[in-house]
Amino acid sequence: MARTRTVDAAVAILRREGITNLFGLPGAAINPFYSAVRADGALRHTLARHVEGAAHMAEGYTRAAPGNIGVCVGTSGPAGTDMITGLYSAAADSIPILCITGQAPVAKLHKEDFQAVDIASIAAPLTKMAVTVLEPAQVPGVFAQAFHLMRSGRPGPVLIDLPIDVQLAEIEFDIDSYEPLPVYKPAASRAQIDRALDMLAAAERPVVVAGGGIINADAADLLVEFAELTGTPVVPTLMGWGSIPDDHPLMAGMAGIQTSHRYGNATMLASDFVLGIGNRWANRHTGDLDSYTAGRTFVHVDIEPTQIGRVFAPDLGITSDAKAALELFVEAARERAAGAGLPDRSAWAGECSDRKATMLRKTHYDQVPIKPHRVYEEMNRTLGPDTRYVTTIGLSQIAAAQLLHVYKPRNWINAGQAGPLGWTVPAALGVVAADPTQDVVAISGDYDFQFMIEELAVGAQFGLPYVHVLVNNAYLGLIRQAQRNFDMDFCVQLSFDNINADDDALPGLKGYGVDHVKVAEGLGCKAIRVFSPDGIGPALVEARRLADEHKVPVIVEIVLERVTDIAMGTALDAMNEFDGVTSDTAEAPTSVVGRAS
């Protein structure tokens, strides 16, 4: 053993645990840790402009690839409190991130010292572990436990708070003697799987609800194999979107009261048996529970035992990691197919395919200002099947989920439960940092975009190129639509006459307020503004070229009509489509063969 500073031990452990990237901001109380990062020289650090942004970058980094764990770093006091939204978003979606904060000296923690806050207590409800390390010798064990907890059971975030005197202390430590703790994940038994398959076989119109746990477990291929073996249509949740390609014959569409397809809702209502894997029956998926559950039998498979029965009691609950369960489902289905056989589901799958081909929302609108539906039609037409979408909340996210097509796991990266405004820009930067070769396209409304717009400078400084589609209606569109229930339009307009606007040069922007193009350019990025539907496709192509050439984020601002209501409702059988926007001629998911790349 050799004497070493605790922070040098911590950095060595990060590297041994597979960490390569950090996102954060230095500060007085965390500078010892940064000195260890500098001395090590192997960790890439991305300097955020806001600590909440660093937390969302870490989220995006984790979500981009199996096995990734994003790490965000900040100083004491407000740095930790700024990370809370990121911890909430990560915990809500079962995303492991590690937050490391500096802290006042141990002896000062109860004296209301400058920027001394009990961040461990604040973060505790939103993490799998939140701890202020009071003894230097505990630092290696705390970091080992952090990685063990983040990877075991239901994944989630951890916060480690390091008082500055603990960081500066020396301990006996040898990285060669360090071993990561074994990961625990519960696994279904074969008896449980056989019982679930018996229930599926007895049904006439079964579906699989594929949740985000399948994405987290890197089990999408197993899901598709199981669906094909049994002929069972798949209804992905918003977090499970991409676990089966949109153009797969057994992809039956998403169900829900906002982020859903008409055909997905219709298939869900027509089903008589539901096998949920890695999902949590989120309210935006189920809507009214009476109409969602009526006449259906449910099996629920989830890695977290307390999720079973949390929303409603299933007929069979199985605690298991999604991959472990699907491996057994595939094994058992293969045996049944080779033996007594499996029920023929072709007629039921055909009904689902018919709905998918006909129950479509209209997207082809030619008017100016642009109707938002046309934006997603052009994105489907112009962007390739490998495109990775990043978004968070609002009418832009809801319309994107209703109208875009996703073909691969982790190509829809979304803050599902928390939905914090401002998430999209920093999360997209984290996604790009994880895989700079991927075509990343972010989607924001103007309010989400303005929340953390300063993080665009991070993309310019560190060469993190992506395309950001900004749909601008100068409104808090989702809240305006919700205010219809109160017969008001109150404090939701972002429009004003910008005194710096050239109304003669840009008459179509009059009254829209913020000039996002100028702001983006001032932050070191490129930007394109689009006023007509025919300009959307060419702008997306040019944006990709500019991003590749300059290695910076490129914003495509699309000026929309001020008011558009997007389909939503209170129950799967009580959806309001608005404006007669349903059509049998809208673009359906097409085979990825021959699509733009």
- Look up residue 36 and give its amino acid: A
Q: What span, in angstroms and rounded, lies between the C-alpha atoms of 378 and 385? A: 13
CATH, domain range 2-177:
3.40.50.970
Q: How far apart are CA 278 and CA 240, in angstroms?
A: 8
Residues of the chain with CATH 3.40.50.970: 2-177, 360-583
Contacts of 444 (CB under 8 A, 6+ apart): 391, 392, 394, 396, 424, 425, 468, 469, 470, 471
Decide if pLDDT at 557 tops 90.
Answer: yes
Q: What is the per-residue pLDDT for 586?
A: 47
Q: Note every long-range contact of 315-321, with CB atoms under 8 Å and residues 24 or more positions apart, other chains counting.
A: 315/199, 316/192, 316/195, 316/196, 316/199, 318/188, 318/192, 318/193, 318/196, 319/186, 319/188, 320/186, 320/187, 320/188, 320/192, 321/185, 321/186, 321/187, 321/213, 321/217
Hey, which bits of 474-518 come out as E strands?
A: none
Q: Provide the pLDDT for residue 564.
A: 87
Q: From 559, 577, 557, select the one nearest 568 (Cα to Cα).
A: 577
The CATH architecture assigned to 360-583 reads: 3-Layer(aba) Sandwich (3.40)
Provide mean pLDDT across the span 254-266.
95
Domain range 190-358, CATH class: alpha beta
Q: Is the pTM of this model over 0.85?
A: yes
Question: Residue 589: what pLDDT?
Answer: 53
Residue 580: pLDDT band by 50, 70, 90 thresholds? very low
Average pLDDT, the chain: 92
Q: Could you read off the pLDDT of 199-234 as tens digits, one per residue? A: 999 999 999 999 999 999 999 999 999 999 999 999
8-state DSSP, 492 = -
Which of 229, 224, 219 lies closest to 244 in space, CA to CA? Answer: 224
N-terminal to C-terminal alpha carbon distance within the chain: 54
Question: What is the per-residue pLDDT across 295-343, written as a single tens digit (0 to 9) for each?
Answer: 999 999 999 999 999 999 999 999 999 999 999 999 999 999 988 788 9
CA distance 162 to 168: 10
> Would you call 310 helix, strand, or coil by DSSP?
coil
Both tokens of 258, joined, read 């906002």
DSSP for residue 91? H
**Amino acid symbol at 86:** G
Binned at pLDDT 50, 70 and 90, residue 505 comes out as low
CA gap 276, 300 in Å, rounded: 5
